[in-house]
Amino acid sequence: MPAPQPFRVAAVQTVSGGDVAANLAQAEPLVAAAAARGARLVVLPEYFGILGARATDKLAVREQDGTGRQQEWLAAQAREHGIWLVGGTVPLACDDPGRVRSACLVHGPEGARVARYDKIHLFAFAQGDERYDEGKTIEPGSALAAFEAPCGRVGLSVCYDLRFPELYRGLGELALILVPAAFTATTGAAHWHLLLRARAVENQCYVLAAAQGGEHPNGRRTYGHSLLIDPWGEIVDECAEGPGIVVGDVDPARLAEVRAQLPALAHRVFR
């Protein structure tokens, strides 16, 4: 039986604003570029479709589950390029008219949706004039989510989830963790690389993070540094700032090597 082959993945980095059409137009050639370089799975950042002047702007473009501009675009792009396409977050309607679900949506190569994860942990931060409270406009999810891809089991998470390692432990043994994000410049400079590398090392799997990266029309600065990290915590590829892509392979041989040399997953006492 032939050995499993490396599975090429990519992260798209954007600097999104408040216009959904313009944001999708910015992302489209980047998705195409990733596919042209052989990526079979592509992940977009959190808020890839809208990062407005106000946190409430996403309420105006919320979509019903299963229909809407962003969801239709994701399905069409996945189908056109024959890839697994992960929409970092799409604002989906919920029972609370003043909030949305921040939903990470996965579409398969035929365009059909294969997974949905609603962001569980909602970011809150206050430092001087910089203040955020996602709970005011987002209703948290409650269920973990993963899906099977040719590379193995892929775990879904969004941005602030990265700070909660128990979420990933709850997903079982993974080949790849996805982290679409919009880390602030402040928290990103302090913790982004540290947290991503820790999640890769402790789960002995690849981590692919797609970030917002730059100065947005609303004045917010996001950290960027989209990257792919291997199971030993080494950075495979990285995009510092501005629109761009990160490309690399999820290599089954590398996964097996790390887990054989240091069988930490087998040594766990608390499961």
86-109 pLDDT tens trace: 999 999 999 999 999 999 999 999
The position carrying tokens 């909602």 is: 122
pLDDT at 160 over 70: yes
- What is the model's pTM? 0.97
**All domains of the chain, ordered by start, with CATH?**
7-267 (3.60.110.10)
* pLDDT at residue 4, as a whole number: 82
* pLDDT at residue 163, as a whole number: 97
Q: Measure the CA dihedral 240/243/244/245, to 10°.
A: 90
* pLDDT at residue 250, as a whole number: 98
pLDDT at 246 over 70: yes
Average pLDDT over residues 4-17: 96
* pLDDT at residue 1, as a whole number: 62
Cα distance between residue 153 and residue 176, in whole Å: 7
Average pLDDT over residues 62-75: 98
Mean per-residue pLDDT of the chain: 96
Residue type (1 letter), 142:
S
* pLDDT at residue 129, as a whole number: 77
Query: What percent of the chain shows pLDDT beyond 70?
Result: 99
Catalytic residues: 46, 119, 159
Confidence class of residue 128 from pLDDT cuts 50, 70 and 90?
Answer: confident
pLDDT at 253 over 90: yes
On whether the CB atoms of residues 85 and 77 are closer than 8 A, the answer is yes
**E strands, the chain, where?**
7-13, 41-43, 84-93, 100-107, 113-118, 124-127, 130-133, 146-149, 152-156, 176-181, 206-211, 213-215, 221-223, 226-229, 235-239, 244-250
pLDDT at 130 over 70: yes
* pLDDT at residue 200, as a whole number: 98
* pLDDT at residue 127, as a whole number: 86
Q: How many CB atoms lie within 10 A of CB 57?
A: 16
* pLDDT at residue 187, as a whole number: 95
* pLDDT at residue 270, as a whole number: 85
Average pLDDT over residues 71-80: 98
Write out the two tokens for 210: 């797609």
On whether the CB atoms of residues 243 and 26 are closer than 8 A, the answer is yes
pLDDT at 46 over 70: yes
pLDDT at 147 over 80: yes
Average pLDDT over residues 250-268: 96
